[in-house]
Amino acid sequence: MSERLIYLPLGGAGEIGMNAYVYGYGAPGKERLILVDLGVTFGDMEGSPGIDLIMPDLTWLEANRDRLEGIFITHGHEDHLGAVAHLWSRLNVPIYARKFTGTLCRLKLEEAGIPADTVQIVGPRPEVTELGPFKVQYVPVSHSIPESAALVIDTPAGRVVHTGDFKLDGTPIVGDPFDPVMWHDIANEGPGVKVLTCDSTNVFSSHPGRSEAVLAAPILDWVVAQKNMVVATTFASNIARLKTLSEAAIAADRKVCLLGRAMRRMVSVGLETGILTDFPNTIGPDEAANMPRNKVMLLVTGSQGERRAASAQLSRGRYLGLSLKEGDSFLFSSKTIPGNERSVGRIMNALSEKGIELYDGDDGLFHVSGHANRPDIEAMHDLLKPEIVLPMHGEHRHLREHMNIARSKGIASMIATNGMMVDLTGKAPRVVDQVETGRLYLDGNVLIGAMDGVVRDRIRMALNGHALVSVIVDEDDNPIPDAWVELSGLPGRTRGGADLGEHIEGELAEFLETADRKTVRDDAKIEEAVRKITRQVSMEEIGKKPEVSVIISRLMAE
Amino acid sequence: MSERLIYLPLGGAGEIGMNAYVYGYGAPGKERLILVDLGVTFGDMEGSPGIDLIMPDLTWLEANRDRLEGIFITHGHEDHLGAVAHLWSRLNVPIYARKFTGTLCRLKLEEAGIPADTVQIVGPRPEVTELGPFKVQYVPVSHSIPESAALVIDTPAGRVVHTGDFKLDGTPIVGDPFDPVMWHDIANEGPGVKVLTCDSTNVFSSHPGRSEAVLAAPILDWVVAQKNMVVATTFASNIARLKTLSEAAIAADRKVCLLGRAMRRMVSVGLETGILTDFPNTIGPDEAANMPRNKVMLLVTGSQGERRAASAQLSRGRYLGLSLKEGDSFLFSSKTIPGNERSVGRIMNALSEKGIELYDGDDGLFHVSGHANRPDIEAMHDLLKPEIVLPMHGEHRHLREHMNIARSKGIASMIATNGMMVDLTGKAPRVVDQVETGRLYLDGNVLIGAMDGVVRDRIRMALNGHALVSVIVDEDDNPIPDAWVELSGLPGRTRGGADLGEHIEGELAEFLETADRKTVRDDAKIEEAVRKITRQVSMEEIGKKPEVSVIISRLMAE
């Protein structure tokens, strides 16, 4: 059988977050593999309470790791590199990244006790990294973090362009501007582009994307107009935005104070790697607290409403000696990611209660997106003229819309979601396998499977409450009729005012007193009966069936 | 002391939802009172897991119910009348509403066993309801439900206009168009308007609101262009939208099938009360299932992603014999309420996975809002020329923005949030008291206080997991060293692969074997020690401190 080029997303295709895309080339089942990105997504109370980080289940890749050549990281966002430190030991191959991204990655690996030299720093095109049948070039693109890159992946079956997260920005403030000539060359070298694997995040935004540079004037006007303390929040990694905000502060005769560990880290890595030059001097929180309020701008983390970030802390009260007051101004130089509306709203309202004037990016004056909008995505299609477009980095509906756009131009396209192995060798993509995929949850410091039932049980307890019953069976196999019931997350009183726990205990006593020996000798039977009675009594008394845990203790004759 | 006019929001001021506004007139502390609206808000997994309905805590009003004259309902949305059936028995006063709203209210009361004639149907202005010192008129306004009304409340201290939810719509499809002459009269009768209590929901929308009528053409064009089954969802109570959608279906030679109990109820109450005329004949799901797919439009509930509504059911599979297929079209003729993005996205993606083309209201073609935008709010200020503007129906940041607008026009204004009693007698509003307010949760069929700790415990179990420990102390006050541990919502295995429950049991046995008699005789001391050990072991083994419940059973000598 001849060799083939395959694509296998393990995360990020059918969701925004947790990116992990496999490419392979070789004889079927023996393809040599590379992995592009290894990111996380974040848990939420609704779907994964108690879980901070979610990452792709790499079972398939682990089983085939002798075929894996390396991991290429496109840029430094958590949804592209956040899982590396947690999962690298299961793969144990070299990691490739450009300097800024690689430095961020090394910091994470070092915290996890993995040697920094696991990450190899590579330069942008024309530098080529050759790994097995792959020749990989990093092509600078603009995004909301410096040094984002598309990958040009040359294989014997043709050229793949994997955009990573990108926008078309001729004036990105930090990093390389969009270079149409370079992209023209990429499109026209040799037989051209076979496959374009392309960011779909903003496919529903119908206006052309705007440059980072358009924000400078409105932000400066805004800072100049403020009378008291000025606070601005954005993603810590959006260094271009931090620069624009800081320069506006300096121009308005204010000092800049960075609050939040992530923000200080990003700026320092930016300076250290040379991607950031002439960033204004900053002052510490102590100094800021002693300056006149109209001489300071705080640049703070927490634009997405994160509970422990600086924005949230300031909205609740004093933080590192600083506090906000009536007449201060707070700018969200950001867009709220869908799903975070309530958390962000909570902070905005808490600030409003303190008398602080709020400003946000909604009318476009104070924020631009880091992703290509629909016209920009189309421009990329037109520029690269690929045979095949594979939409990625999107929920299913984003991928569908992106596929429809490609097909309307006569380009072959399909929706390949996590676990679908696609053969790209022919004129059109073709599904050749479906591998098992899933999600891993980092719970405390343990990685558990999303389907293990741990989180399901948490959700059930949260929705239904939890009744605990302790049953004791004595040495002679007689149950002690006084079962003990403890309720957690349940109303103690029924509608009529009775004690729910006592009521359940009463019904259980009746059962235990009359239970036959066969039942009493069988833990499963006792448990089933106790659970049924507890749920039934609760349903009658409070209209709700709780989760029930039963502990049966059998006393032993000494 | 002279008499005074007071305003006291008990819900809806500082949040969107759960509206309940008290007005009073009389000697301080002896004012006669009316309540405007008595609504609910909905629980969510993040803040109130397991809770379906949230309503205002009326403790203050219950304590003063001998002073309460009646309840006026402005319109039929749940956030304005949803709590009536649950809380009316605590107040026991007549309820006033217009016909459609009153009919909806009566249906709810009857289900709760409260006589229908508790609701008195009143006509629009010039009809006046006189209650104590209040003369109340219902003034038709447009909104996303028929028969919405503002209230003109005349008191000896002057005229209050309480807008309810409103927009300015000259062509609302169903119900009375905006009548500038009537509003002009209201503004200019007698000494004019003293207080305008005004909807703030859309204060951040800077463009003038659009009429319901603008949707007819684009919706018709859309329906005509679809080739297979067409499904549209919107709020069941948005009868004007249902009419527009149905008429487009008929014009495109399709039959209409209503799916979802709420939608059928709304249309039937609409027809019964005469507010809805010439609604197209509809067909049942059986008939729809047997029609050619291109001859049907399904009108379905669940535009906000509600799990049990028709949209969600169709996205998961077959519903009442109907199922969707590749090439069908699904329109969200709605806006996603902030906080519902994830639920709505889930349904959209499930539909996309079935190959269904999605359309939504985002570009304005298929949806208009039911609330006044900023220019419309300003128009209302200008039209009524009130002395005082009280922003309501908004989160704190909405109220702040609305207050700023009013003040910029030289109108006295303030942010009065739930529990603030405001004296409106003078030229400017003045806070005179802060009464206790809060939220009640309907949990199963029991009303519990939001601060009772029940929901707090659920959230903690969901975030941290739950460890249950059963300790038995024998007749001689000797603990049985084998403590039983049961884990719920916790990883069973530690990072190193050990059994977490057994590990905790081992540590507990060590403690119980060596505990002194003073500790053993004291339940609180055992509990404290067991909790501490369990949390400590868990933290060491899995990096997480669970909630711990301890049941101590003391065996009695027989």
Q: If you measure CA to CA, which chain B residue comes closest to A540?
A: B445
**Number of domains comprising chain B:** 3
A77 in the same domain as A59: yes
Pairing assessment for the beta strands B466-473 and B547-554 based on DSSP bridges: parallel
A317 in the same domain as A250: yes
Q: Is A284 on the interface with B (CB under 8 A)?
A: no
**Domain end call among A393, A420, A449:** A449
Of B49, B349, B358, the CB nearest to A462: B49
Per-residue tokens: A429 = 């993509």
**Domain end call among A387, A422, A449:** A449
The answer to whether the CB atoms of A45 and B339 lie below 8 A apart is no
Residue B139 belongs to some domain of the structure: yes
Closest CA–CA distance from residue B130 to any residue of chain A (Å): 37
Please tell me the pTM assigned to this model. 0.94
Closest CA–CA distance from residue A155 to any residue of chain B (Å): 31
Of A50, A457, A462, the CB nearest to B45: A462
Tokens 């089983």, residue located: A63
B271 in the same domain as B200: no
B183 in the same domain as B229: no
Q: Is A321 on the interface with B (CB under 8 A)?
A: no
Closest CA–CA distance from residue B80 to any residue of chain A (Å): 22
The answer to whether the CB atoms of A363 and B206 lie below 8 A apart is yes
The answer to whether the CB atoms of A461 and B464 lie below 8 A apart is no
Residue B67 has pLDDT above 70, yes or no: yes
CATH of the domain at B537: 3.10.20.580
**Domain end call among B424, B449, B474:** B449
10-residue mean pLDDT series, chain A (558 residues): 93 96 98 98 94 97 98 98 98 98 97 96 98 98 96 98 97 93 96 97 96 97 97 97 96 97 94 90 95 97 95 96 96 93 95 96 91 97 98 97 98 98 97 97 96 96 97 91 93 91 96 92 96 97 97 83
Q: Is B328 on the interface with A (CB under 8 A)?
A: no
A51 in the same domain as A134: yes
What residues of chain B lie within 8 A of the CB of A362, using their CB? Answer: 204
B309 in the same domain as B186: no
- Res A277: pLDDT: 85
| A144: nearest Cα among A57, A194, A215, A96 | A215
A262 in the same domain as A117: no
The answer to whether the CB atoms of A553 and B494 lie below 8 A apart is no
What residues of chain B lie within 8 A of the CB of A45, using their CB? Answer: 45-46, 49, 459, 462-463
Q: If you measure CA to CA, which chain A residue comes closest to B459?
A: A462
CB contacts under 8 A, B 380-419 vs A, are 395-397, 399-400
Cα pseudo-dihedral B281, B287, B291, B294, rounded to 10: 50
Q: How far apart are CA A135 and CA A309, in angstroms?
A: 41
- Secondary-structure breakdown of chain B: helix, strand, coil percentages, each rounded to the nearest 5: 35, 25, 40
Residue A460 belongs to some domain of the structure: no
Per-residue tokens: A40 = 């996380």
Give one DSSP letter per residue of A260-308, joined into a string.
Answer: SHHHHHHHHHHHHTTSS-SPPPEE-HHHHHHS-GGGEEEEES-TT--TT
Q: Is A339 on the interface with B (CB under 8 A)?
A: yes
| B209: nearest Cα among B377, B79, B336, B333 | B377
Q: Is B388 helix (H, G, I), strand (E, B) or coil?
A: strand
Provide the pLDDT confidence category of residue B191 given band limits of 50, 70 and 90: very high
Of B454, B492, B539, the CB nearest to A491: B454
| B352: nearest Cα among A56, A10, A379, A204 | A204
The share of chain B scoring above pLDDT 70, in percent, equals 99
Per-residue tokens: B323 = 């199922």
Residue B88 belongs to some domain of the structure: yes
Pairing assessment for the beta strands B547-554 and B439-443 based on DSSP bridges: unpaired
Please give the DSSP secondary-structure letter assigned to residue B373. B
Decide if the complex's ipTM is over 0.85: yes
Residue B115 has pLDDT above 90, yes or no: yes
A202 in the same domain as A226: no
Q: How far apart are CA B53 and CA B51, in angstroms?
A: 6
B118 in the same domain as B32: yes
Q: How far apart are CA A62 and CA A49, in angstroms?
A: 27
- A448, A490, A550, A555, best to mutate vs chain B, most B CBs in 10 Å: A490
What residues of chain A lie within 8 A of the CB of B349, using their CB? Answer: 14, 395-397
Residue B460 belongs to some domain of the structure: no
Residue B455 belongs to some domain of the structure: no
Q: Is A553 on the interface with B (CB under 8 A)?
A: yes
The answer to whether the CB atoms of B463 and A488 lie below 8 A apart is no
Q: How far apart are CA B508 and CA B505, in angstroms?
A: 5
* CB proximity list for A237: less than 8 A, separation 6 or greater: A76, A77, A144, A145, A262, A266
- Res A558: pLDDT: 57
Q: Is A450 on the interface with B (CB under 8 A)?
A: no
A268 in the same domain as A298: yes
Q: Is B183 helix (H, G, I), strand (E, B) or coil?
A: helix
Closest CA–CA distance from residue A344 to any residue of chain B (Å): 10
- B46, B461, B463, B482, best to mutate vs chain A, most A CBs in 10 Å: B461
- For residue B235, the Cα-to-chain-centroid distance in whole angstroms is 13
Residue B192 belongs to some domain of the structure: yes
- A408, A473, A551, A558, best to mutate vs chain B, most B CBs in 10 Å: A551
Q: Which domain holds residue B50?
A: 4-207+369-449
Provide the pLDDT confidence category of residue B1 given band limits of 50, 70 and 90: low
Written as one letter, the residue type at B459 is I
A191 in the same domain as A235: no
Partnered with residue B129 across adjacent β-strands are B136
The answer to whether the CB atoms of A44 and B353 lie below 8 A apart is no
| HEC readout, B405-474 | HHHHCCCEECCCCCCEEEECCCCCCEEEEECCCCEEEEECCEEEECCCCHHHHHHHHHHHCEEEEEEEEC
Note whether B256 and B232 are within 8 A (CB).
no
The answer to whether the CB atoms of A542 and B50 lie below 8 A apart is no
* CB proximity list for B220: less than 8 A, separation 6 or greater: B247, B248, B251, B252
Segment (H or E) for A485: strand A484-488
CB contacts under 8 A, A 111-150 vs B, are none
CATH of the domain at B244: 3.40.50.10710
Residue A547 belongs to some domain of the structure: yes
Other C-beta atoms lying within 10 Å of the C-beta of residue B271: 14
Residue B59 belongs to some domain of the structure: yes
- Res B364: pLDDT: 86
pLDDT (average), residues B122-151: 97
What residues of chain B lie within 8 A of the CB of A542, using their CB? Answer: 443-446
The answer to whether the CB atoms of A454 and B491 lie below 8 A apart is yes
Q: How far apart are CA A146 and CA A238, in angstroms?
A: 7
Average pLDDT, chain B: 96
- Res B532: pLDDT: 98
Of A448, A489, A549, the CB nearest to B457: A489
Inter-chain Cβ pairs, chain A and chain B, closer than 8 A: 219
Give the tens place of pLDDT for each residue, B283-321: 999 999 999 999 999 999 999 999 999 999 999 999 999
Note whether A526 and A479 are within 8 A (CB).
yes
- B202, B342, B397, B493, best to mutate vs chain A, most A CBs in 10 Å: B397
- B331, B335, B344, B400, best to mutate vs chain A, most A CBs in 10 Å: B400
- For residue A358, the Cα-to-chain-centroid distance in whole angstroms is 27
The answer to whether the CB atoms of A443 and B551 lie below 8 A apart is no
B187 in the same domain as B226: no
- Res A475: pLDDT: 87
Give the tens place of pLDDT for each residue, B315-355: 999 999 999 999 999 999 999 998 899 999 999 999 999 99
Note whether A360 and A366 are within 8 A (CB).
yes
Note whether A555 and A473 are within 8 A (CB).
yes
Q: How buried is A360 (Cβ within 10 angstroms: 0-12 exposed, 13-18 middle, 19+ buried)?
A: buried
| B78: nearest Cα among B142, B12, B175, B150 | B12
Give one DSSP letter per residue of B484-509, joined into a string.
Answer: EEEEESS-SB-TTS-BHHHHHHHHHH
Q: Is B363 on the interface with A (CB under 8 A)?
A: yes
- Res A364: pLDDT: 86
Q: How far apart are CA B443 and CA B86, in angstroms?
A: 12
CATH of the domain at A374: 3.60.15.10
Q: How far apart are CA A408 and CA A431, in angstroms?
A: 21
The share of chain B scoring above pLDDT 90, in percent, equals 94
